Copies of this chain bind each other. A is one copy, B any other.
Amino acid sequence: MNKEKLCDKCSTCNQKSPLFQLLSDNELEVINDDRYAVRFLEGEVILKQGTRADNLVYVIEGFAKMYVEGFNDRNLLLDFVKPMQFVGAPAVHTGGKYNYTMVAVRETLACFLDAEKFSKALDLNREFSKHYMVKCSEEYARSLDRMVSLSQKQMHGRIADALIYLSEQVYETEVIGVDVSRQDIADFTGMSKDSAIRILKEFERDGIVNLEDKTIVIHDGPLLNSISMNG
């Protein structure tokens, strides 16, 4: 498969994150040393919650999701992962076990970076480690926002939050794609699948969204924002 050629070495990788562009070829070589890429099929587990966190996963192409396996067989969907994103924090820094499971939503090419080597690169280049720290801090800040949403808003507000996030941050268009199921939205907003469906249907009746064969098209963004704020 010619796609693996993209992954010959880090310095020539054509899916190089802005973060990696801060590293010199020599520094990249440190990370390149122990890295390897693996292609995952839809539904396959890339990282499993509870296993030792000795790799940072860099998504080269595809689409994945990460979720915490919680209580009563319920999952808390944390995020969808697009190419050029890093997955592994915070466990990779505390030296513990992965805090979540990561699964390929579509066929996904993932690069496994050795945590030790990555840490070495953080040592070598302070600009790199600084920017990486900013990325981690942004993730943390988002988790605080979600804690507020999950604990203080009721279902309409939480669904609105989810749709806004998926539209603005994940799909970067008004159309939320087919690979986000109703169950995903329920897992993202901490409610039952039934309730999530009900509210999406309600939003459709109110002209806020269009539901067309499993995609969700946002029709009235301002109203959605107002529901997010007041719910």
Contacts and interface: CB of A to CB of B under 8 A. Distances in A.
Interface residues of A, number: 44
A52 interface: no
Quick one: copies of this chain in the complex?
2
Nearest to A78: B144
A116 to B, nearest CB: 12
A140 B90 contact: yes
Nearest to A69: B148
A190 B91 contact: no
A19 interface: no
A2 interface: no
Contact of A136 (B68, B123, B137): B137
Interface stretch (A3-11, A103-111, A150-158): A150-158
A129 B123 CA distance: 9
A138 interface: yes
Nearest to A228: B71
A140 B134 CA distance: 13
A191 to B, nearest CB: 8
Interface string A19-48: 000000000000000000000000000000
A160 to B, nearest CB: 12
B153 A68 contact: no
A32 B110 CA distance: 44
Contact of A147 (B91, B119, B143, B157): B143
A70 interface: yes
Contacts of A138: 90, 94
Contacts of A198: none
Given A126-B123, A133-B93, A71 B139 contact: no
Report, nearest first, the 7 A-B pairs whose CB atoms are least far apart: A151-B190, A90-B137, A93-B137, A90-B140, A70-B148, A150-B151, A70-B152
